[in-house]
């Protein structure tokens, strides 16, 4: 579903991604761990085409990110042509980024009606179903300011799903939440995983990584240090850098 080969990205003369290669299979939940500044967010943003890579190749569902095929030629996409490709990849951020002056339902239908030009009636119908799926059927007409952080994050998940992505990226989705609100968001993510969604999750929630994750990738200093079964990587890491990180966070 996602194939990354030797991904490189620099900001100025600082190389933040130093050749990341990994594969995410369809239906897999891959958890991405690593110290702050190791390049996790940048890597997700590259997959979603929010950052342009300096080297390497990225494919989502067999489609090369940033390129369009015509016949047997690859053409580089212009910036304004990347929106359609981006819609295949949903992204949920630490800060929920909802439109504050729109209701939960209006937030959810924004993408389908504006980007995908789906008829409003249909978008509303699907939007209500999505809000029900994240447990917020009764909050459709609430504004973000009237919702808890956990509820806002669930609206943000519903909003991403509204574009019918084939992959969902989560960048520390529970890090900004009060501890008692973390569980309700993880529950929604768990049910999404159970439904077969392909997910890449940057998280410090080791319990989630072990229970829901199929694979853990540990990143440090712009490199992929260790990948494997969540229990193996988290309980019996092979690499010194993984061991050092885990001894600090556990």
Using rule CB under 6 A, residue 36 touches ligand ADP: yes
216 three-state secondary structure: strand
Residue 103 near which of ligand ADP, Mg ion, none (CB within 5-8 Å, type-dependent):
none
C-alpha–C-alpha distance, residues 239 and 250, integer Å: 16
- Spatial contact of 169 and 24, defined as CB atoms under 8 Å apart: no
C-alpha–C-alpha distance, residues 55 and 243, integer Å: 30
Residue 27 near which of ligand ADP, Mg ion, none (CB within 5-8 Å, type-dependent):
none
Which residue do the tokens 């509303």 mark? 124
Q: In angstroms, give the least distance from the CB of 97 to ligand ADP.
A: 16
Residue 11 near which of ligand ADP, Mg ion, none (CB within 5-8 Å, type-dependent):
ligand ADP
Q: Which of 6, 25, 26, 37 binds ligand ADP (CB under 6 A)?
A: 37
| Closest CA relative to residue 199, chosen from 91, 99, 121 | 91
C-alpha–C-alpha distance, residues 17 and 165, integer Å: 25
Q: Which of 24, 28, 34, 108 binds ligand ADP (CB under 6 A)?
A: 34
Pick between residue 37 and residue 240 the one whose CB is nearest to ligand ADP: 37
Q: Per CB under 5 A, which region of 14-22, 33-41, 134-142, 188-196 contacts Mg ion?
A: 33-41
Q: Which of 1, 9, 38, 41 binds Mg ion (CB under 5 A)?
A: 41
- Per the document, the length of the chain is 250
């Amino acid at each position: 579903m996602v194939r990354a080969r030797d991904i490189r990205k620099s900001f100025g003369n600082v190389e933040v991604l130093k050749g990341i290669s990994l594969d995410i299979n369809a239906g897999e939940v891959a958890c991405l761990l690593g110290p702050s500044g190791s390049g996790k967010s940048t890597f997700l943003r590259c997959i979603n085409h929010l950052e342009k890579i300096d080297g390497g190749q990225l494919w989502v569902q067999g489609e090369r990110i940033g390129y369009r095929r015509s016949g047997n030629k690859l053409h580089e996409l212009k910036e304004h042509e990347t929106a359609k490709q981006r819609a295949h990849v949903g992204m949920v951020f630490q800060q929920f980024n909802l439109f504050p002056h729109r209701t939960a339902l209006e937030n959810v239908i924004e993408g389908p009606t504006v980007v995908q030009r789906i008829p409003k009636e249909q978008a509303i119908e699907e939007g209500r179903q999505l809000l029900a799926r994240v447990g917020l059927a009764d909050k459709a007409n609430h504004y973000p300011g009237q919702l808890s952080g956990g509820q806002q994050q669930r609206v943000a998940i519903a909003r991403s799903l509204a574009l019918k992505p084939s992959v969902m990226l989560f960048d520390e989705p529970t890090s900004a939440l009060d501890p008692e609100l973390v569980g309700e968001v993880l529950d929604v993510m768990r049910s999404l995983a159970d439904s077969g969604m392909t997910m890449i999750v940057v998280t410090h929630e080791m319990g989630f990584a072990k229970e829901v994750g199929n694979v853990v990738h540990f990143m440090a200093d712009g490199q992929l240090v260790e990948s494997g079964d969540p229990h193996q990587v988290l309980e019996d890491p092979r690499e010194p850098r993984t061991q050092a990180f885990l001894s600090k966070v556990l």
